[in-house]
Amino acid sequence: MPKRKWREIRPSYDTAGYFKQKILRWVYQNPGRYPWRTAKIKFHTLIAEILLQRTKAEQVIPVYKRFIKDYPSPTAIVVSPLSQIKKIIAPLGLRWRARKIKELAATLKNRYRGEIPLHMDGLMTLPGIGQYAAAAYLSLHNNKRALLVDSNIVRLYGRFFGFRVHAETRRNSAFMSLADLLTPHRECRRFNYAVLDLGRNICRPKPLCPICPISLKCHYYNYGKEQK
């Protein structure tokens, strides 16, 4: 069976329901253990989203723990030398993030009185916060419905539904329509945790299909490997 184009995909109610039901059950049984997911201070979760940009979660954990210990608030970052912030996040590379974090802290302190906006437009005015980080903050840390799309999720959807994917797929309107169709209103946070973790840990570039909870109806598992 050949790969399909995004505009040709119209998943049936049963297929979409199967996908959501299976991954929601899977993530309930296999919750990701990341410290920012249980953070009580929302500012710390915003810092985590910046540290996670283009970086594996496992690499971020020790840096994140040290960072929030040394910098529990925006004010602590504002008064800190930039060189010290760079030193802490140096193991992650992309040291430009240190300046963005300092600018973020100053913006929150001076413009928002330490409060974090709770809507996409406001979040995306913050230094270092793009569309993905804003959606992740709203959905994962505030349980508000937002479409979450990264390279792992694109790969997961592409394999399951039988699409060819590439670097620009996430900007494809048909793909975003599919993401909108699949993302539930009532369990958005758990659903987004599920697609993030399933894409990262199971549907890897070299996938672990035998232990995947959705392999029964997965296009890649049933047809894709035969085409290689």
- pLDDT band at residue 2, thresholds of 50, 70 and 90? low
Q: Which two tokens stand for residue 212?
A: 């995947």
The dotted CATH code for 35-128 is: 1.10.340.30
pLDDT at 208: 96
Residue 226 is predicted with a pLDDT of 45
Choices 3.90.1150.10, 1.10.1670.10, 1.10.150.20, 3.40.720.10: CATH for 6-31+146-227:
1.10.1670.10
pLDDT tens digits for 104-144? 999 999 998 888 999 999 999 999 999 999 999 999 999 99
Helix (H, G, I), strand (E, B) or coil at 163: strand
Residue 173 has pLDDT above 60, yes or no: yes
Exposed, middle or buried: residue 40 (CB in 10 Å: 0-12, 13-18, 19+)? exposed
Phi, psi dihedrals of residue 104, rounded to the nearest 5°: -60, -50
Distance of CA 89 to the CA centre of its chain: 20
Q: Please indicate, yes or no, whether the overall pTM of this predicted structure exceeds 0.75.
A: yes
Segments making up each domain of the chain, as ranges: 6-31+146-227, 35-128
- Count CB neighbours of 65 within 10 A: 12
Q: What is the CA radius of gyration of the chain?
A: 19
